[in-house]
Amino acid sequence: MRKFDTKVQHLKYKILREVARLAWTDDLLEHVTDIPAMITQGIEATMRCCVHKEQAIASERVKLAMGGDRSNPNVIQVIEMACDECPVGGYKVTDVCRGCLAHRCEDVCKKGAITFDENHVAHIDKSKCVNCGMCAKVCPYGAIQDFKRPCERACKVGAIAKDPVKECASINNNKCISCGACVYQCPFGAIMDASYILDVIDMVKKSDNNKNYKVYAIIAPAIASQFSYAKHGQIVSGIKALGFHTVVEAALGGDMVALTESQELVEKGFLTSSCCPAFVSYVQKEFPDLAPYISHNMSPMGALSKYIKETDPTAKIAFIGPCTAKKMEFQKDGVAPYVDAVITFEELQALFDSKDLDISTMSEDFLDNASYYGRIFARSGGLSDAVVQAIKEQGIENFEVSSVVCDGIEACKLALMKARALLKARKPLGFNFIEGMACQGGCIGGAGCLTHGEKNKMEVDKYGKLAHEKTIKGAVSVLNQD
Amino acid sequence: MIVQICVGSSCHIKGSHEIVDLMKKAVEEYALEDEVILAGSFCIGKCNREGVTIQIDDDVCTGVTVRGFDAFFKEQILGRLNM
């Protein structure tokens, strides 16, 4: 079974795996420079113009696997050399144009930018064209295409542009929300999320088999749709075989958040969610006037980590999830004391293989801390369902949750614009809760997932239904022992 | 006395929830709120085939079940408190 969606992911994985392999045995310092040659193998180029460029890019990937450019506050970083500098011409007529008679493109163009040559083939006058895309829409042959870089197309917050001097992609950190969409979409793998796998390996090694302190793995509920070649219990066994003391579901943090967030919603009357760090960052950067409405609750990761550190003060905690933005969140002042590192599912796969662990042959351990509602946080709409349920379970009457479920950052933008306009005009909103998820489909669409697919939402719901605890209060009540 | 009931995955599905409820009730019944500090723990590292793991100060008791709870409480909690 395929472990990844793309070959770019596979390449990144191989680098991470080799870095990790050397780190476990303390050989990284001595052999780090051998990794690029291991990746390219032989003297024939298979990816780029020559093997030397391949190796040079591989070295850059090794740097990112080791934490990247620490002077860059953003974990999403461009490997300039790897950027293919894709053409950015905007709308162009391709050779698919048959020089038809209808000339719908000409008729629809309000700017008069379409002209025809002696063969009736259309051409776009770039001095007049405003890239509205109408011509492309009406062409019966689909002959007009938008030549836009895949990274720019992926970035719905407009944080990526061509560097005017170097031509390669350049990220504007003032706009970037670290969602990782560009990382997943760049066909050349020229954008990568910096990795904290070395921090995790160091944490595990220094614990001396959890004798000096215990290392906890908090695993995001999106795990339900991942590692489809193994069972959930085997993933837990694998994580423990890496040297973790135990594995706890972040979904339990979801249950905790659902209770407190629903109380906050009733109290304040209008709220946006705070679970998705990319969404929170987006509100803070583009809608600072709405920032006071962001729920003051920590994310499920933060809330659960705080609880664990309160019961076990020397604990070290690594969060494992689908999310690159979590790598920013855990460094924030309010979260940093509780979470020690964040890695993705991709990186977890690399860690398994760096120790040659085949989890599909392992025995099944248990993973059961949360309720159905905590688990469905992983997919769009789940958080809203959980808040409704939490209100019901707490017996709060006379309060109706009216949620706008925003699936992807574009939907978030629309809801936030609407909220801003209505609040300004002092008009009733018609809704009282914005569930903001930056990735399509919710966390299961995260850039750090191994695979993305139609069935993932179903897998999350299925996994949710397997939960031992049937209610949010039931899941959380075991924690409040005093 | 610090009593930590394991709520890790393995114990959870073997009844941590019920044991927590029973423990809270028993502590209340015997008015031991000042003597016993209840706390949770994610995995004490002694996952058992049956029942829940409970750590009392530095000692670990495994296999605590709903059926055996009364005996456990009398022996391990009341016993230690010389009650």
Distance, CA of A408 to CA of A404 (rounded, Å): 12
The one-letter amino acid at A306: K
Q: Do B8 and A248 touch (CB under 8 A)?
A: yes
How confident is the prediction for chain A on average, in pLDDT? 95
d(CA A381, CA A54): 42
pTM summary value: 0.93
B39 touches chain A (CB under 8 A): yes
Domains and CATH numbers, chain A: 1-66 (no CATH), 72-86+149-194 (3.30.70.20), 90-147 (3.30.70.20), 198-477 (no CATH)
Chain B contact for A368, CB < 8 A?
yes
What pLDDT score was predicted for residue A477? 86
Q: Are A85 and A167 in contact (CB under 8 A)?
A: yes
Query: In angstroms, what separates the C-alpha of B82 from chain A's closest C-alpha?
Result: 22
Query: Cβ contact (<8 Å) for B9 and A311?
Result: no
Chain B neighbors of A482, CB-CB under 8 A: 37-39
Enumerate residues 6+ apart whose C-beta is below 8 A from A88: A147, A148, A149, A152, A162
| Confidence (pLDDT) at A348 | 98
Yes or no, beta carbons of B17 and A477 under 8 Å apart: yes
Which residues does chain B have with pLDDT short of 70? none
3-state secondary structure of B11: helix
Show which of residues 40-69 on chain B sit within 8 Å of chain A, judged by CB atoms.
40-43, 45, 47
- Which pLDDT value is given to residue B83? 76
The reply to whether residue B39 touches residue A308, judged by beta carbons under 8 angstroms, is: no
Q: Left, alpha or beta for A125 (phi > 0: left; psi -120 to 50: alpha)?
A: beta
Q: Which residues, listed in sequence order, are joined to residue A192 by a DSSP beta bridge?
A: A77
- Cβ contacts (< 8 Å) between B20 and chain A: which residues? 477-478, 481
Cα dihedral: A37, A43, A46, A52 (round 10):
60
Instruction: Please determine, for residue A482, whether its predicted confidence score (pLDDT) is greater than 50.
Output: no
- Which positions in chain B touch A246 (Cβ < 8 Å)? 8-9, 42-43, 45
Position A65 pLDDT exceeds 90: yes
φ, ψ of residue A16 to 5 degrees: the values are -60, -45
> Other CB atoms closer than 10 Å to residue A106's CB: what's the count?
15
Q: What is the pLDDT of residues A274-303, one digit of tens each?
A: 999 999 999 999 999 999 999 999 999 999
Sign of dihedral through CA atoms A313, A316, A321, A323?
A: positive
Rounded Cα distance between A410 and A69, Å, is: 29
| Burial class of B31 by CB neighbour count within 10 A (0 to 12, 13 to 18, 19+) | exposed
CB of A163 less than 8 A from some CB of B: no
d(CA A215, CA A240): 10
Q: What is the pLDDT of residues A89-127, one digit of tens each?
A: 899 999 999 999 999 999 999 999 999 999 999 999 999
Closest chain B C-alpha to A235 CA, distance in angstroms? 13
Average pLDDT over residues A59-86: 97
- Predicted local confidence at residue A481, as pLDDT: 52
Per-residue pLDDT at A3: 85
pLDDT tens digit sequence for A418-434: 999 999 999 999 999 99
What is the per-residue pLDDT across A249-268, written as a single tens digit (0 to 9) for each?
999 999 999 999 999 999 99
What number is the average pLDDT over the span A451-457?
92
Is the CB of B17 less than 8 angstroms away from the CB of A369? no
The span from the CA of A142 to the CA of A135, in Å, is: 9
A22, A19, A44: which is closest to A194 by C-alpha?
A19
Whether residue A255 contacts residue A374, with contact meaning beta carbons closer than 8 Å, is answered with yes
Structural contact between residues B61 and B46, judged by C-beta atoms closer than 8 angstroms: no
Shortest distance, CA B11 to any CA of chain A (angstroms): 9
Find the mean pLDDT for residues A146-162.
Answer: 95
- Helix A7-24 with A197-206: angle, nearest 10 deg: 30
3-state secondary structure chain A: CCCCCCHHHHHHHHHHHHHHHHHHCCCHHHHHHHHHHHHHCCCCCCCCCCHHHHHHHHHHHHHHHCCCCCCCCCCEEECHHHCCCCCCCEEEECCCCCCCCCCHHHHHCCCCCEEECCCCCEEECCCCCCCCCHHHHHCCCCCEEEECCHHHHHCCCCCEEECCCCCCEEECCCCCCCCCHHHHHCCCCCEEECCCHHHHHHHHHHCCCCCCCCEEEEECHHHHHCCCCCCHHHHHHHHHHCCCCEEEEHHHHHHHHHHHHHHHHHHHCCEECCCCHHHHHHHHHHCHHHHHHECCCCCHHHHHHHHHHHHCCCCEEEEEECCCCHHHHCCCCCCCCCCCEEEEHHHHHHHHHHCCCCHHHCCCCCCCCCEHHHHHHHCCCHHHHHHHHHHHHCCCCCCCCCEEEEECHHHHHHHHHHHHHHHHCCCCCCCCEEEEECCCCCHHHCCCCCCCCCCHHHHHHHHHHCCCECCHHHHHHCCCCC
Q: How many CB atoms lie within 10 A of CB A468?
A: 18
Q: Which residues of A touch B43 (CB under 8 A)?
A: 245-246
- pLDDT of amino acid A1: 54
Between vectors from CA A92 to CA A88 and to CA A95, what angle results, nearest 5°? 125
A345-354 and A7-24 helices, crossing angle to 10°: 50
Q: What angle do CA A38, A42, A47 make, to 5 degrees?
A: 85
**Dihedral pair phi/psi, residue A41, rounded to 5°:** 55, 115
Q: Which of A245, A468, A479 sits opposite B40 (nearest CB)?
A: A479
- Residue of A239, A364, A481 best to disrupt the B interface, most CBs of B under 10 A: A481
Angle between helices A197-206 and A345-354 (to 10 degrees): 50
Phi (first) and psi of residue A465, to 5 degrees: -70, -20
Q: Which residue of A lies nearest to B7 if distances are taken between CA atoms?
A: A478
Query: Could you read off the pLDDT of A332-344 as tens digits, one per residue?
Result: 999 999 999 999 9
A191-193 and A76-78 strand pairing: antiparallel
- Give residues with Cβ within 8 angstroms of A319, minimum separation 6: A217, A218, A219, A220, A250, A301, A305, A326, A330, A339, A341, A342, A343
List the domains of chain B with CATH numbers. 2-77 (3.40.30.10)
